[in-house]
Homo-oligomer: A and B are copies of this chain.
């Protein structure tokens, strides 16, 4: 099998450009992938965010397929667009990899990026391919606000409620299962809890809920990329409010309790302090919570503070396992 170094940057970029050209909504496209830059004519204010994933730190090739890793990088970046109430329209991608990387691996990473982008009805607008000593993926997502206001982190006010777009704990549970098996647990665990493992490999939040929340008048929003506890701290500080979460009301994905029992871990740990889920967390007027969202707490005026079941989050915050230095 050929390596990236043997095939060369030009030939690979040509393959990427071909892969990017098919699919996706191209209504607003002026110039696509393959030129110095892409050009598009947005239909509203533009939302932009960037996210980098590094092999061995954010993903492992022995735990996920290259296609899942590529797709996940898009989900993580696109979630930031949804968290503003935006709709993803395009991504630009940078892939760094060692010259000795098999071409097949890079093509699969790219296929995952392209597939997931097209699943969101968006386009791959361009990218860069460079030599690096480890695989590094940077996905920059672009979206538009389609008739809604941008939903910042700072808009939560006393009297509102906090709600979640979906259940938590899947990615953290799946990672815990993979880690347990690596450290000697029965590999059957991965089959028994395959839904959780798949949620780790490729989280599937309904990012369309970002626009739904914005249309419903969400006052503040973020995605749960750093774990719920971190996110409520961030929102409380940005909005200068107190946030109280009722841990019993935080929805957990199916199977989490059973995995917790199997591994001897409180599953609330995964739901409260796990990260890289990308479900959306938003503050609403109590009467404005969209269907399908779960109210998990309240916003009140006062000193910026985040509490779970009335207690300070300091201890729980210490649980988090994904924070990088």
Contact = CB atoms under 8 A, between A and B. Distances in A.
A246 B36 CA distance: 24
A248 interface: no
Interface string A148-181: 0010111000000000000000000000000000
A178 B49 CA distance: 37
Give the residue among A30, A99, A131, A138 with the most B Cβ atoms within 10 A: A138
A9 B324 contact: yes
Nearest to A99: B325
A68 B297 CA distance: 48
User: Oligomeric state, in number of copies?
Assistant: 2
A84 interface: yes
- Scoring A31, A49, A153, A221 by chain B CB atoms within 10 A of each residue's CB, the highest score goes to A49
Interface of A: 4-6, 8-9, 30-31, 35-42, 45-54, 57-58, 79-81, 83-84, 86, 90, 92-94, 96, 99, 125-134, 136, 138, 140-143, 145, 150, 152-154, 221-223, 238, 323-325
26 contacts: A6-B325, A9-B323, A9-B325, A35-B84, A36-B83, A36-B223, A39-B48, A39-B84, A39-B145, A39-B150, A40-B48, A41-B46, A42-B42, A50-B126, A50-B128, A52-B128, A52-B130, A53-B130, A57-B130, A57-B132, A99-B325, A131-B324, A132-B134, A132-B136, A133-B134, A138-B140
